Structure 1
Amino acid sequence: MIPYGRQDIDERDVAAVTEVLRSEWLTQGPMVPRFEQAVAAYCGATHAVAVNSATSALHLACLALGLGPGDVLWTSPITFVASVNCARYCGADVDFVDIDPHTVNMSVVALAEKLDRAAKTGRLPNIVVPVHFAGQPCEMAAIHDLGRQYGFRIIEDASHAIGARYRNEAVGNGRFSDITVFSFHPVKIITTGEGGMALTNDARLAETMVLLRSHGITRDAAQMDHAPDGPWYYQQIALGYNYRMTDIQAALGASQIERLDEFVARRRALARRYDEHLAGLPLALLRQHPDCASAWHLYVVRLQLDQIGKSHREVFAALRDRGIGVNLHYIPVHTQPYYRRLGFKSGDFPQAERYYAEAISLPLYAGLSEDEQDEVIAAVAEAIDA
């Protein structure tokens, strides 16, 4: 089986992790800040907070921005559920903005129209979470302008997009958002096994996320309500969580980021090769916005089913039967049973639902060989009877 994605681990990564295993620190030692500094420097951000998953980073970002009961978060329906669940963890309400059918990112037109309607009803969002789907950044300048107009804060869910660029600057620099979140799951661009990170240029937001990732406990005398009783002393000053990243994970991440540009370049080359070899087949390829340089976490095609003599499910099954580990990213979140119970229903976001009925993610990862990619391309042509 050729998987849709997989990690790329070399001997340098193994050596970095082994060094930590032989050291005195396994949890929160020197490698965590080293990894944070490396990512912040790469992206051009002031602060980085490493945690045990992007889901945790999203939750901490919402908490740092003050999201709570009675508040509302908007995001895209085509995303992993964590982009929405983070609001529910805070007791907030959620809503969605339909996608641009060409990029599958949040539609700026749909967002502007929905904000205009919400302003008239007094139910504007407190936070908007644009999701950089498949590694392509959203139209962040336009979203930022809308944020200033309507008063919402912005969290970039860049789980797919470390190494991507927007207007020739690295995603994560915070120019158009309050906080950016990355994922380091094994199928992402770089990995820490499991892990995530939140980047911001706001010292207060960073300080809050650092506090909340470790139980709300501080050893900083300046944050305590009285002088420390002794060198052993700490205080819990907030209700926090155990969202810490370990030194073992951070060592892997610090090693991996040294090859980030190499990984992204390889993914872009493979994506161009897919574009060339799939041209002419009854498929719609995702359009790349001229302001963006995708990190190509995913390569998604949309089946033009009116030209194919098989159903979506039949094509998917035919590819799996050929040993091609295709996948589908994502099931529209508003159609999940949990969110249906909150009042969402099929038909609410038609572009997202149409996308779901046509989409297939093809294998794409830095270690994919051209021979393997040729096998994928041949299997796609056969599966759609082209």
Structure 2
Amino acid sequence: MITKDLYGRKELRELVRDFTRREVVPHLDRWEREGEVPRELHRKAAELDLLGIGFEHGDLLDTVVLTEEIIQNGGSSGLMAALFTLGIAIPHIWQTGDEDLLDRFARPAVRGEKIGSLAVTEPGAGSDVAAIRTTAVRDGDHYVVNGEKTFITSGCRADFVTTAVRTGEKGYQGISLLVIEDGFTRRKLDKMGWHCSDTAELHFDDVRVPVRNLVGEENQGFVLIMRQFQVERVTMAVQAYATAQRALDLTVGWVRHRETFGKPLIKRQVVSHRLAQLAQRIDLARTYTREVAARVNRGEDCVTEVCFAKNAAVETCSEVVDAAVQLHGGMGYLRESEVERHYRDARILGIGGGASEVMTELAARRLGFA
């Protein structure tokens, strides 16, 4: 049985650590070159019940542990995005408890049999979810969908896409969620980082979707989306500080052995003090994010604190990966260096799930400052 202290969960940590070192690390460079992770990895993760965390068992704190261990043992935030896209694709379905949708989409995703994706962002609507324009017009027992989505994680491989559509009036009141399986076109996007996680642009041209694929009630999709943003943002904060910790660990190992002018780099005060500063930043971000995660897990209203956690962790990660590349010198600039991957991958963390500027604006409003 998994230990249930707040940060321990020792059996889960050991399980994830072993999975990462055995099934991920030896292959990650190749998956980066190929631009996706294999479906077999989803099935292997499902066999260990890792895909069911937060759904069939476990909670948000288990997800925190899962994320920490995968990244800090040689995985990456890009790997997390590819393998655990169900974390943003099926929560809305799970929340509604619709047995038909659960059986056709959510449970197969948890078993690693299907890959799900979430499509909210459009060319003209990112963090402003209420501004989406993709329409779904009722026609008998179907909706007819027209529009486009962009920056969709796992959009190329997805067997189904939980899609935000406009079924009613302008603004947040007219948004619904539909599960769309086929009939649309996909275009793969070429990115700076997250190379093993495919990202797509989706085009819907009179795509007919059965009414039975509606998630929850019509025109109530905005509420479902907003509820899940809290968990997504906490998870991205965890990805950020875990990436920073991994980059720092790699850098400490490098400067201990890299010699300049007759002594290891770590013996230079400018280097050792810099490492101490980075360790402090990471520990502060980790401690705060874990506490916020515990509050979200208890169902507390802590939107402001989630914004703070994401921004603080992202800022820390940006500083640490930059320093890691710098302290690795020329080696840090090469693709064969792991810190180079983290440097590229980290850049999306301040954009995805709500840009840092949006997080600051939201926090300011909640505090009554705007």
Q: So what's the TM-score if we normalise by structure 1?
A: 0.25
Ranked by relative contact order (alpha carbons within 8 Å, sequence separation 6 or more), the top structure is 1
Structure (1/2) with the larger helix percentage: 2
Q: So what's the TM-score if we normalise by structure 2?
A: 0.25
